[in-house]
A and B are shown apart, each in its own frame.
Chain A
């Protein structure tokens, strides 16, 4: 047990601090230790504890297209979509309901097109993990002169 933790517990035992204060201090110490070890990931973030990274709530998609892309004269067209992460989780659960027969057909179609993906091997817990790590995702697509379009996908 670390000295600081012991100190907090001794202060609690001596009645110098309340149980709530002790809990807050211990949480802060844990957060500090995690940051020090460089292990503060979104998956382990407890949400709101000091020193931990806040969990993203939304997936944001921003698209900006020039008039040559859209055919609309007068300037650029922008699309801004904000989707709650909870919706992604629900969608993943829906994917878990796909019957085995459909899985086989999809796998066959994927392999036919040269995509080595076996959907039946993707379990709902894997997808949950995938979504948990989406907070680190940032996709920036910027077209060249012939394709003046910008797409930005990120979590916030």
Chain B
């Protein structure tokens, strides 16, 4: 299953030293919907390219799908003295 959303949390310290921040949920499914026509248009072009470099296009698409679908539950968290950013794919 491909990730449908990403939660992004950003926090920073204000002048008094207190942490402030916001949390947003990014609807990735909308990104996939926007990208879908592009992918469909590029589909035959990539397949042609694969023919030229002797690559199996089906395996390439399968692997690409595998990478996107295994991105779920990926977490990247960076915490510096000033800013804290956390991105979580769900």
Contacts and interface: CB of A to CB of B under 8 A. Distances in A.
Contacts of A36: none
Contact of A84 (B63, B70, B78): B70
A97 B63 contact: yes
Interface in A87-105: 87, 89-91, 93-94, 96-97, 99
- Please tell me the size bucket of the interface on B: 20 to 34
Interface residues of A, number: 26
Contacts of B71: 84, 87
Interface in B43-90: 53-56, 59-60, 62-64, 66-67, 69-82
Nearest to A62: B77
B74 A83 contact: yes
Contacts of B55: 97, 99
Given A74-B81, A77-B79, A97 B60 contact: yes
Given A84-B72, A99-B54, A93 B81 contact: no
A18 B63 CA distance: 43
Interface of B: 53-56, 59-60, 62-64, 66-67, 69-82
What 9 A-B pairs come out closest when comparing CB atoms?
A74-B81, A86-B70, A90-B66, A82-B75, A80-B77, A75-B81, A87-B70, A90-B67, A77-B80
